[in-house]
Amino acid sequence: MTSATPTLLYIDDDAALARLVERRLTRAGFKVVHAASGQQGLDRLAQGGIDVIALDQVMPGLDGLETLEQILKIPDAPPVVFVTASQDSAIAVTALKAGAADYLVKDARGDFIPLLQVAVNGAIRQAAIQKARDEAEAEVHASRDRYAALAAEREVLLREVNHRVGNSLQIIASLLHLQANSASQHDVKAALTNAMGRVAAVAQVHRRLYTSHDFKTVMLNQYLEALLEDLRRSAEGNKMSRLTLKAAPIEIDPDRAVAIGIIVNELVMNAVKYAYPDGAGPIHVELKPQAEDLQLSISDDGVGFSDMADPRGTGMGQRIVTAMAAKLDASVERDPNHQGTRFVLRFARVSPALAKSTSAAAN
């Protein structure tokens, strides 16, 4: 950091001119240190405390350009104003290209000294500006590195959280499955099996997030495929042997994926229980884009909705579907023209609340 009284190192083998520079610049508020050769200047510079250098070109031993080259190898070297009696512009160009802050032509009478004062003041200011810019850029890079490290740590933690939550939910689903198998009452067994499917639907989302590179979205088609595979494995006998999925590759946020998974679980299990009283049959799940929205359908070719009422049913599944559809701002319709039963859900790719907040942020 430059002191209140800046120190100028004047490197020139002309002792008389050096004394003249020292007198005039001392009156201008500088402390002037003289070195009679390039090597003496380098030795004095090594001692520290120099804010700016005025460097002559023609000297015994190291000339000005050679001395400049050595100075610029020093870390945080002070700025250099190149001074010479030569009128050759090539020397000026060479010095500036080498890294000199400024260049001026001297004369034996010292008429150049006011120009030297302006040049060294400008060099000091420019060096201070450059130092501030370098420090700001270093801080930006350091902040970016810290952010990247925090983001990487956050990703690891989120992945671990999703892994643990997914495992915990899977354990709960397995316990419910064991309890259902040991239950003797049909109603209890059915309730536990339904609860197991709902927990598994949520667990599957967390497993998707654990293996995903993006924690903000879930590939809905992959999630549904994994969810239906869980349903196939959990089904008794071959009741699920003809469960099919046709889904476009669509990304969606995890919260909406959970709601969709629970709806699919409820409607598929409903079809398993009621669509084919005499055995197994096809159950189709289809997901496709429709303009700006998505359409999800669950259908079967069974006995139809009118004959699917079961006096043992509690209506819990219907209430869950209604609640999850409300969470999605989705419409749920039954296709009256379908032979069998077909439910159709239409909902936005992005939740209306999120779309509204994104639009407001953009404006």
Cα–Cα distance, 197 to 166 (Å, whole number): 14
The H-assigned helical ranges of the chain are 15-27, 38-46, 64-71, 89-98, 113-182, 186-211, 220-234, 254-274, 316-328, 352-362
Could you give the percent of the chain with pLDDT greater than 70? 86
Report, as an integer, the average pLDDT of 28-41. 94
Q: What angle do CA 27, 31, 37 make, to 5 degrees?
A: 120
Please list the residues that pair with 103 across neighbouring strands. 82
Highest mean pLDDT among 117-131, 154-168, 218-232, 317-331: 117-131
Q: How high is the pLDDT of residue 291?
A: 81
Q: How high is the pLDDT of residue 259?
A: 87
Report, as an integer, the average pLDDT of 48-67. 92
Q: Which amino acid is at 66?
A: E
The tens digit of pLDDT for each residue in 311-354 reads 344 577 788 888 889 988 988 898 988 888 999 999 988 765 55
Which residues make Cβ contacts (< 8 Å) with residue 128, sequence separation at least 6?
2
Q: Which amino acid is at 130?
A: Q
pLDDT band at 272 (very low <50, low <70, confident <90, very high): confident
Q: How high is the pLDDT of residue 121?
A: 93
Cα–Cα distance, 333 to 356 (Å, whole number): 26
* Burial bucket for residue 260 (CB in 10 Å: 0-12, 13-18, 19+): buried
Cα–Cα distance, 78 to 293 (Å, whole number): 64
Who wins on pLDDT, 72 or 167? 72
Segment (H or E) for 83: strand 80-84
Judged by average pLDDT, the poorest of 6-20, 174-188, 344-358 is 344-358
pLDDT at 309 over 50: no
Q: How high is the pLDDT of residue 352?
A: 56
CA 251 to mean position of chain CA atoms: 18
Who wins on pLDDT, 28 or 200? 28
Q: How high is the pLDDT of residue 307?
A: 46
Report, as an integer, the average pLDDT of 136-163. 81
Q: At what angle do helices 254-274 and 316-328 cross, to 10 degrees?
A: 150
Going by the DSSP 8-state scheme, the letter that residue 314 receives in this structure is: -
Q: How high is the pLDDT of residue 273?
A: 81
pLDDT band at 356 (very low <50, low <70, confident <90, very high): low
DSSP-assigned letters across all residues of 175-232? HHHHHHHH--SHHHHHHHHHHHHHHHHHHHHHHHHHH-S-TT-EEHHHHHHHHHHHHH
* Burial bucket for residue 2 (CB in 10 Å: 0-12, 13-18, 19+): middle
pLDDT band at 215 (very low <50, low <70, confident <90, very high): low
Cα–Cα distance, 60 to 16 (Å, whole number): 16
222 close to 248: Cβ distance less than 8 angstroms: no
Cα–Cα distance, 287 to 294 (Å, whole number): 7
Residue 49 Ramachandran class (φ > 0 left, ψ -120 to 50 alpha, else beta): left
Q: How high is the pLDDT of residue 235?
A: 60
